[in-house]
Structure 1
Amino acid sequence: MPAKQALRDQVLAARRRRPLIESVAVAEAIADHVLAWDAVRRGAVVAAYVSVGREPGTGRLLELLVAAGKRVLLPVLCPDNDLDWVAFTGELAPASRGLLEPVGPRLGPDAIAQADVVIVPGLAASTAGDRLGRGGGSYDRALARVPAGVPIAVVLHEDEAGRDVPTQDHDRRVTHTVTPAGIS
């Protein structure tokens, strides 16, 4: 879909222009907001992801979730672009496409259904919860396995939230947006 690709290109170009110095503050603010979120405080299992490149950082968030006693499930990209899940123990290993993946036994694609909260990457999101990803469909497939009522949050920079996001039938919505300013 050309409109989706145009928005992807625009957001990725803007991310490349962001000063690296702001990355630490962004990651800390996001971690603070997520850890203070009632859904996370009450939940026992959080499905999240390992940020890469110029995505808003999740490294500190993952460390703090584990320190808080949460069971953290992280994705492993399968050859068919679906996601398997591994319980995060603090160890990551390099994987394909420049990703870092958790080390440990795979729990299967349906393991995401165990999560009390799901935190996903994205490039943009609308106020209605339409999420723009990188285009592989991995998270749309995974989110289809999340039970109704489970909070799903996309992590973004401020200017990536509240955008007009083109959608297709297979796209899955998120219920919340996490930015350095807070959770909406």
Structure 2
Amino acid sequence: MDTPRPHPKAALRSAHLADRRALRGTQRKSTLDQAIVQASLECLEDFGASGTNIAAYNPLPSEPGPADFAARLAPAARAVFLPISLADGVLAWAQAGQDDALGSLGIAEPRGARFTSAVLRSCGMLVVPALAVDRQGMRLGKGAGYYDRALAGLDVPVAAVVFDWEVVEAVPHDAHDQAVDAVITPEGFFRV
């Protein structure tokens, strides 16, 4: 009897999550996070998104970017919208501000008015997390599809943030997976 092989997405997720756990809390991660902030600001500028509304995220401790990632991008934006994970697999969005507080996952979440993903149409760029991305712009998320649902049908540039070694040859993808327009890493950014 053949042993079932893990789904290619699951195997890739598992490998990248293990690498990220090993990096968590190290000086190396701090250095990489600072470079990600700089590369993100350069990407916003290159896409003409500086001074516009943007969407960003505050990463978990193992994810690329410093804990205050959105606040570090805020001076380059008119407003920054942050995601709020809802129970039904949908993202709500609220403007980052002074009243952000830790949410259920230990990530800073805004407390202001909530919007549907339609608010993303007001943005000049969306800066989103990923576990891996390929040079065709296919991103691998954590598997719940929150971002794929939020990005569907938008005509707004999207940049995925990953560590350099998470840019891979090919990301397994399905018809509903949404491609990105740029990739941001500690080494810089590139358009897809």
Map of 1:172 onto structure 2: 178
Q: Does 1:11 align with 2:11?
A: no
Map of 1:113 onto structure 2: 121
Q: Does 1:129 align with 2:137?
A: yes
Partner secondary structure for residue 96 of structure 1: coil
Q: Does 1:30 align with 2:9?
A: no
* Residues 1:21 and 1:174: Cα distance change in structure 2 (over 3 Å): same
Question: Residue by residue, what CA displacement relative to the aligned partner does 1:107-149 show, whole Å, maximum 9, x if unpaired?
Answer: 22311121110111010001101100000000000011422xx
1:58-69 alignment runs, 5 A limit: 58-69=66-77
Partner secondary structure for residue 116 of structure 1: strand
Contact 2:58 2:69 in 1 (8 A): no
Following TM superposition, by how much is the alpha carbon of 1:17 offset from its aligned partner in structure 2, in angstroms?
A: 1.7
Following TM superposition, by how much is the alpha carbon of 1:43 offset from its aligned partner in structure 2, in angstroms?
A: 4.5
* Correspondent of 2:92 among 74, 84, 93: 84
Q: For 1:175 and 1:36, locate their aligned partners in 2 and report how far apart those are by CA, in whole Å.
A: 15
Contact 1:34 1:40 in 2 (8 A): no
Following TM superposition, by how much is the alpha carbon of 1:12 offset from its aligned partner in structure 2, in angstroms?
A: 0.4
TM-score, L = length of structure 1: 0.90
Map of 2:3 onto structure 1: none
Q: Does 1:161 align with 2:161?
A: no
- Larger CA deviation: 5-14 vs 98-107: 98-107
Identity of aligned residues (%): 35
Mind listing any 5+ residue stretches in structure 2 that lack a counterpart?
Answer: 1-5
Contact 2:131 2:166 in 1 (8 A): yes
Q: For 2:105 and 2:121, locate their aligned partners in 1 and report how far apart those are by CA, in whole Å.
A: 26
Q: For 1:69 and 1:118, locate their aligned partners in 2 and report how far apart those are by CA, in whole Å.
A: 11
Following TM superposition, by how much is the alpha carbon of 1:76 offset from its aligned partner in structure 2, in angstroms?
A: 0.7
Query: Greater CA radius of gyration, 1 or 2?
Result: 2
Q: For 2:117 and 2:89, locate their aligned partners in 1 and report how far apart those are by CA, in whole Å.
A: 11
* Correspondent of 2:55 among 28, 47, 55: 47
* Residues 1:131 and 1:69: Cα distance change in structure 2 (over 3 Å): closer
Question: Residue by residue, what CA displacement relative to the aligned partner does 1:4-50 show, whole Å, maximum 9, x if unpaired?
Answer: 00100010011112261112211211111121232255451111111
Contact 2:51 2:77 in 1 (8 A): no
Mind listing any 5+ residue stretches in structure 1 that lack a counterpart?
Answer: none
Question: Residue by residue, what CA displacement relative to the aligned partner does 1:66-109 show, whole Å, maximum 9, x if unpaired?
Answer: 23353101011111111111011144322234443112111223
